[in-house]
Amino acid sequence: MGRWEPNAQERLGKAALELFTERGYEQTTVAEIAERAGLTERTFFRHYADKREVLFAGTVHFRENFLGTVLSAPASLTPLQVVLAAAQAAGAALEEFRGRDFALARRRIIVANPELRERELIKLADIAVGMAEGLRARGVDEPDASMAAELGMAAFRVAFERWLTDAQERTLPELIEESLASVAAVLG
């Protein structure tokens, strides 16, 4: 192992996002990312498998927040309360991860690239499937388990889009709660 580089992972992430934004994701090389961060390519590969991983580094943790919350939720909670808690836990962690500016830049890069967008959609769809499994394990029948899971994921997605550009700077967990509450309004 080389010498210790303070905050190397975060510096590389920041450099990558800057370059993806300036030049486009496809046009950016790992060598350029390392150079912008003032680090070596070797250091890059100690932290990320490839440049795509810079954008998806938080995925495992994000998924764990969602699914772990479903599995550990008190038995007294309704399916909707479970998915709300799961989406809020994932939202709070995402908000802390690197903040809104990072999330917004990342979002712009992903939307502009079909391959990245597809990976993002698959990630969220797989988490919804995992939440439905978790709810069935809690004794929730179908289609309630799948619909509650889809509802939780929809609330997350809709809240996330609003959070990125929210003038009032509400927190992501607040917006998730508001999105789910709006379902009751839509149903009424």
Distance CA 64, CA 62 (A): 5
Compare residues 15 and 176 and give the one whose CB is closer to its own copies.
176
Compare residues 61 and 123 and give the one whose CB is closer to its own copies.
123
Options 27-35, 44-52, 96-104, 136-144: segment touching its own copies (CB under 8 A): 136-144
Compare residues 71 and 154 and give the one whose CB is closer to its own copies.
154
Compare residues 30 and 80 and give the one whose CB is closer to its own copies.
80
144, 82 contact by CB (below 8 A): no
* Nearest residue to 82 (alpha-carbon basis) of 17, 148, 139, 126: 148
Does position 185 bind its own copies by CB under 8 A?
yes
Does position 187 bind its own copies by CB under 8 A?
yes
Distance CA 153, CA 160 (A): 10
CA atoms within 13 A on the CB side of 118: 3
Does position 29 bind its own copies by CB under 8 A?
no
Does position 112 bind its own copies by CB under 8 A?
no
* Nearest residue to 10 (alpha-carbon basis) of 136, 43, 110: 43
With a CB cutoff of 8 Å and minimum separation 6, the contacts of 72 are none
* Interface contacts to its own copies, rule CB under 8 A: 78-80, 114, 117-119, 121-122, 125, 142-144, 146-148, 150-151, 154-155, 157-159, 161-162, 178-179, 182-187
